[in-house]
């Protein structure tokens, strides 16, 4: 007897077509084209989740460097001074501090400068 595997195959195809919703042309309603487009999109999504982390870190470093220069320090000397004094502030916190609390950042930088 012939087995059509209807339910399982339809569910698999519909899952892909649902992910391809909003795509243009045949990519949204032909399974083969949709599958190729969705696979590529998921690859890009995975790659860019990692890239976002790198981008934010570099943004924080640029902000910290700009704030450090206003108090007469370079970024590398600031980070080295913080490490020497065992001040465990990460770059995200330092960046937020540089923007929202310049006086606090200047105080931290002064401690790092003394090291």
pLDDT band with cut points at 50, 70 and 90 for residue 1? confident
Residues 100-110 have a mean pLDDT of 95
Over the stretch 92-102, which tens digit does the pLDDT of each residue have? 999 999 999 99
Question: Can you list the alpha helix ranges (DSSP code H) found in 1-115?
Answer: 6-19, 31-70, 75-84, 91-100, 102-114
> What is the tens place of the pLDDT at every residue in 31-74?
999 999 999 999 999 999 999 999 999 999 999 999 999 999 99
Q: How far apart are CA 65 and CA 57, in angstroms?
A: 12
- Answer for the pair 68, 61: CB distance below 8 angstroms, yes or no: no
CATH number of 7-114: 1.10.1900.20
What is the C-alpha to C-alpha distance for residues 12 and 17, in angstroms, rounded to an integer?
9
In angstroms, the CA 27 to CA 77 distance is: 52
Q: What is the pTM of this model?
A: 0.79
């Amino acid at each position: 007897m012939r087995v059509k595997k209807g339910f399982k195959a339809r569910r698999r195809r519909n899952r892909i077509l649902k992910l391809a919703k909003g795509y243009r042309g045949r990519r949204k309603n032909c399974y083969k084209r949709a599958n190729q487009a969705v696979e590529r999109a998921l690859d890009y999504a995975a790659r860019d989740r990692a890239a976002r982390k790198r981008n934010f870190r570099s943004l924080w470093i640029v902000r910290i460097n700009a704030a450090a220069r206003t108090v007469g320090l370079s970024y590398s000397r600031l980070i080295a001074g913080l490490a020497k004094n065992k001040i465990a502030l990460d770059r995200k916190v330092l960046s937020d501090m540089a923007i929202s609390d310049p006086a606090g950042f200047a105080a931290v930088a002064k401690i790092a400068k003394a090291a």
